[in-house]
Structure 1
Amino acid sequence: MTRPSTGSGTGPSTGSGPTVAEPVEALAARIENAYRELSPQEQRAADFMRDHLGDLALYNATEVARLSGVSKATVSRLYRRLGFENADALRDHVRALRASGTPVASETPANFAEHLDRELANLRAALSGLDLAPAAQLIAGARRVTVVGFRSSYPIALHLRQQLAQARDGVVLAPLPGQSIGEELAVLTPDDVVVLVGFRRRPEGFARVLALVEASAARSILLTDQARLRGDIVIACPVESVTAFDSYAAAASVISLLAGAVLGVDLAAGRSRIAAIGDAYRGLHELE
């Protein structure tokens, strides 16, 4: 869990096709806009592409031709009509879209075996060599813990805050709905810890928040899919999925382990807090 060097973001795709910043819908729109001008054979290949956008990162021109029942020359012409120099340019574009977190339409697997294999691979990658003791010690010993998350990372941060709040007091979530985050990070002391949850697709301002925390006196812990991001401690959890959308199963598993490790730093104090919380639940009739 050493601090890695900062890496660059995903670059543009090769060839003359759309850039990485373009949404996947732009590729479908290109097919739709060009469709009436295509030959019947090109339309046949375009139909296959439109129905298998997510799989285009895996197929070369020969495979697209075979699966759509046309010639390779037809597929090559179609790629050029859509603005791509060749199959590699299109495949790089679709891969970059997926790496950036853009949902790429794909068919649901006929069975869940492939999904299970992917989830197990994510878990193995996240847990292999994982040492949560340094992060747990930081969180347990902090004056205040601020958990930060944006967009799809926000519910993950909310869950992390809820778990940590069972183990210790002084755990806050930022930003709260409808609020800015500056006031939460304005005065950070060496006794503070900021846990940043930053899974793709991170908002543009995430890097500035991370830089502010890094420049402060506080210690930082980063829970992310991108291990190249900067933090005092970086915990990487893959979110790859066989569907169009990312999976946070590995992240949820690591959160459970991290909260348990924080609780274990001072088990007597943790048990006392859990008992007090249970009394409050019963007094307020909050739970069944």
Structure 2
Amino acid sequence: MSTAHTKRDKRRPAPIENRIAECYDELSEIDQRLADVILSAPGQLAMQTATELAASAHVSKATATRFFQKLGYASYDDARAIARAAVVGGSPLYLQERGRTSSSTKLDEVIQAHLEHEVANLANTYRSLDTHVLTEVVECLAQARRVVILGYRHSHTIALMIRRELIQVRANVVVLPAPGDTLAEYIGDLDTEDVVINIGFRRRVPAVGLTASVLSEAGVPTLYLSDVMAGKPARLARWVIRCHTDGLMLFDSTVAVSALVNLVCSLVAEHLHKHGNSHLQRVEIMHQMLRELE
């Protein structure tokens, strides 16, 4: 491997599957066997010792050590640290072994374990709620001129869920990014009379943090809805609500997120009702006039 390639890797650590792909055809038969074991379950790298990895590939520990050096890593521990970061970051490739059961495990046991895990996520999320923050968020969502909800990738689904609830009880609720558009056209004129819900669950795109910075500089009230490892955008938001989303199996849990959305939007509806808001009533009348619902 070239010196330039090694220097580039030290500046910006690359996932091991990328490095293996770059040189797989040039590897020896023994190294390819080790590479195949790693590629079959990259997440195992975060948990195994060099000795355990070598044993699973039926090679010596020395061979495994040299293999990682050939890929440009300073050591096995260097590669394992990057794999651990990928696990924490929520890469499905590195989480595919999470919760995997043996052939002898009964389905009802899996169901029970999954249920208990989801209940724990829900309970831990609700226990961590700050009532002062929740009260301020509800009041702002009810009174703001416009509500803008930002969500990328799987967070976009959560954004649509929030809009679906809020639009029934108040007007001027929009989800971004809109198809075919960029953000600047929409957030350029937001100010202190508006509110933004910035959703950033793990595997966030860079736009989450960049938008948080722009909104903070503009003084736009922002709720940051995230997981327990909220990251840098949390320091830029006025309010932060964290949900427990760790999954028992491959995919992250969204049970607590869905419940929290229901709670917040229901509280907004209650607040608006108490203050004489008639938006919901007008919507129901329009549903009947337009014959939109059975």
What displacement does 1:209 show?
1.7
Correspondence list, 1:26-65, <5 A: 26-29=18-21, 32-35=24-27, 37-39=28-30, 42-65=31-54
Asked if the contact 1:220/1:231 (under 8 Å) is kept, the reply is: yes
1:109 partner SS: coil
1:84 to 63, 73, 83: 73
> Identical aligned pairs, as a percentage?
31
* CA distance 1:16–1:89, shift in 2 (3 Å): farther
Asked if the contact 1:149/1:157 (under 8 Å) is kept, the reply is: yes
Aligned residue number for residue 106 of structure 2: none
Asked if the contact 1:198/1:223 (under 8 Å) is kept, the reply is: yes
One-letter identity of the residue aligned with 1:29: A
Q: Which structure has more RCO (C-alpha within 8 Å, separation ≥ 6)?
A: 1
Matched, 1:138 2:136: no
What is the rounded CA distance, in whole Å, between the counterparts of 2:57 and 2:128 in structure 1? 44
Asked if the contact 2:150/2:156 (under 8 Å) is kept, the reply is: yes
Correspondence list, 1:1-288, <5 A: 22=14, 25-29=17-21, 32-35=24-27, 37-39=28-30, 42-105=31-94, 106-107=96-97, 109-110=100-101, 111=110, 115-116=114-115, 118-131=117-130, 132-225=134-227, 226=230, 228=232, 229=234, 230-268=236-274, 272-288=278-294
2:206 partner SS: coil
1:173 partner SS: strand
TM-score (norm 2): 0.76
TM-score (norm 1): 0.78
1:167 partner SS: coil
2:160 partner SS: helix
Asked if the contact 2:122/2:256 (under 8 Å) is kept, the reply is: yes
One-letter identity of the residue aligned with 1:211: S
User: Structure 2 regions of 5+ residues with no counterpart?
Assistant: 1-6, 102-109
2:191 partner SS: coil
* CA distance 1:81–1:23, shift in 2 (3 Å): closer
Q: Greater helix percent: which structure?
A: 2
* CA distance 1:84–1:218, shift in 2 (3 Å): closer
One-letter identity of the residue aligned with 1:182: A
User: Structure 1 regions of 5+ residues with no counterpart?
Assistant: 1-14
What is the rounded CA distance, in whole Å, between the counterparts of 1:70 and 1:280 in structure 2? 71
What is the aligned length? Answer: 271
* CA distance 1:176–1:47, shift in 2 (3 Å): closer
